[in-house]
Chains A and B, each alone.
Chain A
Amino acid sequence: GENVEQHPSTLSVQEGDSAVIKCTYSDSASNYFPWYKQELGKRPQLIIDIRSNVGEKKDQRIAVTLNKTAKHFSLHITETQPEDSAVYFCARGDYKLSFGAGTTVTVRA
C-alpha cells in the first residue's frame, strides 16, 4: 500500500520540448504529493507539491496534476532547459512520505 510506481525511469528530451513524469499509488489515505529534484551530488529539493483537495497546480514552467480517483499524479515541465537535467522523485504521504524510484531527465542542447 505504500509503494509509489514512477515512470519512466529515464527521459531524454530536446531543449525546449516538454517532459512528463507519471506516478501511481494505491493507498487511498494519501493526501500530500510532493516532487523533489536532485542534481548530481546534491541534496533533493522540493520543486512543487499538491494536496488531495486540488487537481492541478502550476509554478512557472512546472505543473503537477492529480487524479485521486485513478490514483495517479504527474509532473509536467514545459520549455525544458539544460539546467532541468536532474533526477526527479515523486512522493506520496499521509503521515510519512514514500518516494518513487526516480526519473533521470536529460535535456539535450
Chain B
Amino acid sequence: KAGVTQTPRYLIKTRGQQVTLSCSPISGHRSVSWYQQTPGQGLQFLFEYFSETQRNKGNFPGRFSGRQFSNSRSEMNVSTLELGDSALYLCASSVGDRELNEQFFGPGTRLTVL
C-alpha cells in the first residue's frame, strides 16, 4: 500500500497570506488528523476528520481550518498567516474505528512565514 502523502513539501509565504496544504491518506483509511510540529513544542493536535466531518478539534484559533473529501483526502487551510505559524505540518491517517489505533504519518509540509 502506498503511504500517506502530503503536498507541497515546502512552502514559503509572507505574513497575512493564506495557505492550503493537502494530505492523501493510506487507501482504506477514513480518519485524517493534522498536527503542528515546532522545536520544543512537540506535536500539537489541530483537528481530525472522519467521513468528511470534523470529529475532534485541538486548541488552535479559527484561522486554522480543514476539510475532508469523499475519497478521504484532506486539506488544511491557514488564513492571515503569522510568523509563529512557521512549522512542520504533519497529517496522519488511521483506520478510523472508534478505538484509537496506529496513526501513519505523512512526510509533512514545511511552512515558512516571512
Contact = CB atoms under 8 A, between A and B. Distances in A.
Chain B binding surface SS class = strand
A43 B105 contact: yes
Give the size range of A's interface with the partner: 20 to 34
B41 interface: yes
A89 B43 CA distance: 9
Chain A binding surface SS class = strand
Give the size range of B's interface with the partner: 20 to 34
A95 B105 contact: no
A96 B45 contact: yes
Given A44-B43, A44-B90, A89-B42, A96 B105 contact: no
B90 A98 contact: no
A43 B108 contact: yes
A42 B108 CA distance: 9
Interface of A: 6, 31-32, 34, 36, 42-46, 49, 89, 91, 93-102
